Amino acid sequence: MDTFIPSNITILWILFASTSAIILFSGKFLASSTDTIAVRTGLGHTFIGFVLLATATSIPELATGISSIQLLNQPDIAAGDVFGSNLFNLLIIGVLDVIWRNEPILRSVGDSNTIAIATFGIIVFVLGIQAMFLHDQWSGLNTFLVSPIAITIFIVFLISLFVVHRISSTSGENTTTTPTSIKSPIYKTYLTYLISASVIVVTAIFLSFAAEKIAHVLDWEASFVGTQFVAFSTSLPELASSIAAVRLGVPKLAIAGLLGSNLFNMGFVMFIDEIAYTNGSFWGAIDETHIFTAGTAILMTAIVIAAMTMKSRRKILRYFSVESILLISTYTLTSILIFLFSKN
């Protein structure tokens, strides 16, 4: 794929802008089709958002990770993309709260399903920190073809799918019927999902490769700017589909998709990255600064869980709730600190 991406910086920026526009446009159709599937199947917005929305929007991280490892031999870009995307997804929740004018957005999505996804997210982040720490301290772990901790994270991801589906089946999650979910035949809905998801996945892969090439041409590829830029590009599908879901009036779909995307990134994408990296252990090859990023993701996810469990709240300002302020400020502070660390 890298050979098909031009090296001219002007063409690269045009490619980046055009693919971004296509993703933003397609996000509306992806969100509306998943909304309809959630309603018509009775599986609920949380489970469908977790499975369908999160999977479709997280494939670019997978493509970026494999290309960074196989073509550039840069496992740190793969890891930085995943951890950076996780933080960006949590930042999006804070942004969605500003867009959602009725009340704090997490107040309306705080059911057991969504809390379960967030809790599993914290578990895989903790395991990720343990993997980086133990692989650095104990060289014996680096002799494994696949890290035992990586296998554990993958198993936790599979368990989370089962648990969320079980909760959805037993709780009878109430789904909001929207105009888009009752007019079109179900086969057209699945076709719309497949087409919009395919367009987003293919376009986002080109977008991520363009971002990587821009980072390389401008000598950003191993720097903070490079990893943040690539992470932003691969998280654009989550941003587009989440905003579209909120505008459709189904915030639960958006939040489940974002939290589910983090689980998919850690449980599946990083597992494939581990298999793709053949020069030892992937977890032993990445920089320990990612521990700080993972720790921040735990903090931001804890803020999300706390906000979902505290029901009687209002926005303290016209557009901002306490959690949106905390999420946005935590992301901003973390980005500044990581930039300062990267300069040393």
Interatomic CA distance for residues 260 and 157, integer angstroms: 10
CA 191 from chain centre, in angstroms, equals 24
**For position 211, what pLDDT does the model report?**
76
**For position 278, what pLDDT does the model report?**
87
Confidence of residue 225 (pLDDT cuts 50, 70, 90): low
Phi, psi of 319 (to 5 degrees): -115, -15
Instruction: Please answer whether residues 85 and 228 qualify as being in contact, where contact means their C-beta atoms are separated by less than 8 angstroms.
Output: no
Interatomic CA distance for residues 214 and 10, integer angstroms: 10
Counting Cβ atoms within 10 Å, is residue 337 exposed (0-12), middle (13-18) or buried (19+)?
Answer: middle
Q: Could you give the count of Cα atoms lying within 13 Å of 310 in the half-sphere of its Cβ?
A: 13
Pick the more confident residue, 7 or 65. 65
Q: Nearest Cα to 64, choosing from 184, 298, 221, 259?
A: 221
Q: Comparing 29-43, 138-152, 166-180, 234-248, which segment has the lowest mean pLDDT?
A: 166-180
**For position 299, what pLDDT does the model report?**
97
Interatomic CA distance for residues 58 and 61, integer angstroms: 6
Q: Comparing 291-295, 314-318, 327-331, which segment has the lowest mean pLDDT?
A: 314-318
Q: Report the 10 Å Cβ neighbour count for 141.
A: 17
Instruction: Please answer whether residues 27 and 241 qualify as being in contact, where contact means their C-beta atoms are separated by less than 8 angstroms.
Output: yes
Confidence of residue 182 (pLDDT cuts 50, 70, 90): low
- State the total domains in the chain: 1
**For position 316, what pLDDT does the model report?**
80
Query: What's the pTM value of the predicted model, to 2 decimals?
Result: 0.87
Instruction: Please answer whether residues 70 and 307 qualify as being in contact, where contact means their C-beta atoms are separated by less than 8 angstroms.
Output: no
Handedness of CA 61, 260, 117, 190 (dihedral sign): negative
The token pair that represents 77 in the structure block: 């870009």
Residue 184 clears pLDDT 70, i.e. is over it: no
Residue 216 clears pLDDT 80, i.e. is over it: no
Interatomic CA distance for residues 37 and 31, integer angstroms: 10
Interatomic CA distance for residues 7 and 15, integer angstroms: 11
Q: CA Rg, the chain, in Å?
A: 19
**For position 267, what pLDDT does the model report?**
94
Interatomic CA distance for residues 225 and 228, integer angstroms: 5
**For position 226, what pLDDT does the model report?**
58
**For position 2, what pLDDT does the model report?**
53
Q: What is the CATH number of the domain that holds 155?
A: 1.20.1420.30
Pick the more confident residue, 164 or 185. 164
Confidence of residue 167 (pLDDT cuts 50, 70, 90): confident
Percentage of residues of the chain with pLDDT beyond 70: 90
Q: Nearest Cα to 209, choosing from 52, 21, 53, 62?
A: 62
Residues with Cβ < 8 Å from 296, sequence gap 6 or more?
A: 87, 330, 331, 334
SS (H, E, C) 206-222: HHHHHHHHHHHHCCCCC
Residue 178 clears pLDDT 60, i.e. is over it: no
**For position 342, what pLDDT does the model report?**
65
**For position 291, what pLDDT does the model report?**
92
CA 1 from chain centre, in angstroms, equals 23
Interval 32-91: pLDDT, tens: 899 889 888 888 888 888 888 888 888 888 887 887 788 778 888 889 889 989 999 999
Q: Nearest Cα to 265, choosing from 29, 93, 48, 88?
A: 88
* Residue-number span of the structural domain to which 8 is assigned: 2-343
Taking each continuous run of H as one helix and of E as one strand, the counts in the chain are 14, 0
**For position 202, what pLDDT does the model report?**
86
**For position 311, what pLDDT does the model report?**
67
Interval 287-299: pLDDT, tens: 888 899 999 999 9
- As a dihedral over the C-alpha atoms of residue 235, residue 290, residue 47, residue 312, rounded to 10 degrees, the angle is -100
Average pLDDT, the chain: 85
Confidence of residue 319 (pLDDT cuts 50, 70, 90): confident
Interatomic CA distance for residues 146 and 274, integer angstroms: 6
